[in-house]
Amino acid sequence: MKILIKNGRVLDPKNGIDGVMDVYINGGVIERVDRNIRTRGTEEEVIDAKGLCVAPGFIDVHVHLREPGYEYKENIKTGTAAAVKGGFTTVICMANTNPVNDNKSVTEYIVKQAKKDGSCRVFPCGAITKGLKGEELSEIGEMYESGIVAISDDGKSVKNSQLLRKALEYVKLFEIPVISHCEDEDLSTGFVNEGRASVISGLDSIPTIAEEVIVKRDMAIAEYVRSRIHLTHLSTKGSIEAVREAKKRYGKITCDTCPHYFTLTDAATLGFDTHTKVNPPLRSHEDVEAIREGLRDGTIDIIATDHAPHEAASKDVEFNLASSGISGLETALGLSMGLFHDGVLDLIELVRKFTENPARVFKLPFGELTPGRAADVIVFDPYIEWTVDKNTFLSKGKNTPFHGWKIKGKNMITIVEGEIKYRAR
């Protein structure tokens, strides 16, 4: 199939392109990116992207697709449908499934299901420890052979520092990073951020140091063994300051944050709406400002969603009993455009955090519009206003604190390997 995308503002950070151009796709790959491409007119589809942006398909390095085991929350089919609607053409899915993705048969299952049911590319993340129990390393080598691109016990930290050290040393063989969910479980016995909001609501709280002590420990161990570490869903000022300092000394540290951590504060939890319950918790205004500054100055490399779909019943309970997580794939692009509208990031830097940077950190040959590369392309409108309606989500997870919000910026078309997988109506 040949597709010509005309007159869009092409944003390709990897290749240093930001200008009005055409993109020509042929046989699943990018053929040309240039001004005024003249063709023989044999293309099946000509997309007029005037006034819109054209970018490499976004890469989400942190999603929960819930398959196998929790298909009532999400499955690969619905999760990847939500992904392409949101502008993502590649996702990395976490290992906290049932069974846990801690051996090659689960990894192979996910890869196979993704080929069959997936609207976009899916790369599994393997567990660091068997059953996420923190006791014994999982079958990392086998899983690597079957297609994992990282390991993580996401949902919790690896409490045993010796085990974490071994995992960090072991993955050097494969040059894949350890993704660290930074949370000291002994310090983390609550449900909302420790601060003004928790004092008012009276809910048990989680202090920022619960995250920061593990950020510092994990970076220290990674540096000690000269391995790569990626810190995920960072939420506090202290974490960003620690990463900023550590990066000056040691180059193999990267990190991400999520749209809810630069959009909402813990004040959102005051109404006891369980859709605001997420782990790590929404933090103070000061933390949110520090996250935005970390995005601006490059301390934070990547924006990921931590797409954590849950069934309504697990949110329709008291705050302390509710599941943690936000269904994020269908609002991430729009919420992140807020960083552009607020002057935090220009469009090329914003796109870089969804494309070039995640591709580099996880060694994926995507996230760029280089001729010869797979044609994973999106067309988005950074200005269009729309109202979030959870009932229109393609994800099974309708759990969003953004229902009813007016946001500016929306994905319009998603192309995966030269095939149109989503088009906004």
- Residues annotated as catalytic are 306
Assess 399 for contact with ligand DOR (CB under 6 A).
no
Task: State the residue number with the nearest CB to Zn ion.
Answer: 181
- Among Zn ion, ligand DOR, none, what binds residue 269 when CB lies within 5 to 8 Å by partner kind? none
Binding mask 60-99 for ligand DOR (x = CB under 6 A): ----x-------------------------------x---
Count interface residues toward ligand DOR (CB under 6 A): 10
Residues 104-163 that bind Zn ion (CB under 5 A): 154
CB 295, min distance to Zn ion, A: 19
Contact of 129 with 140, CB cutoff 8 Å: no
Q: How far is CA 82 from the centre of its chain?
A: 13
Nearer to ligand DOR, 278 or 416 (CB): 278
Q: In angstroms, what CA-CA distances link 53 with 57, 181, 320, 353, 405?
A: 12, 33, 42, 16, 23
Residue-by-residue DSSP string for 330-365:
TTHHHHHHHHHHTTSS-HHHHHHTTTHHHHHHTT-S
Residues across the chain: 425
Assess 181 for contact with Zn ion (CB under 5 A).
yes
**Distance in angstroms (rounded) separating the CA atoms of residues 376 and 420:** 9
Q: How far is CA 345 from the centre of its chain?
A: 18
Nearer to ligand DOR, 25 or 234 (CB): 234
Report the candidate in 217, 264, 266, 267 with the shortest Cα–Cα distance to residue 239: 217
Adjacent-strand bridge partners of 206? 193
Residues 108-127 that bind ligand DOR (CB under 6 A): none
Assess 14 for contact with ligand DOR (CB under 6 A).
no
Nearer to Zn ion, 47 or 95 (CB): 95
Adjacent-strand bridge partners of 386? 407
Nearer to ligand DOR, 197 or 278 (CB): 278
Neighbouring CB atoms inside 10 A of 420's CB total 17
> What residues line the site for Zn ion (CB under 5 A)?
154, 181
> What residues line the site for ligand DOR (CB under 6 A)?
64, 96, 154-155, 181, 278-279, 308, 324-325
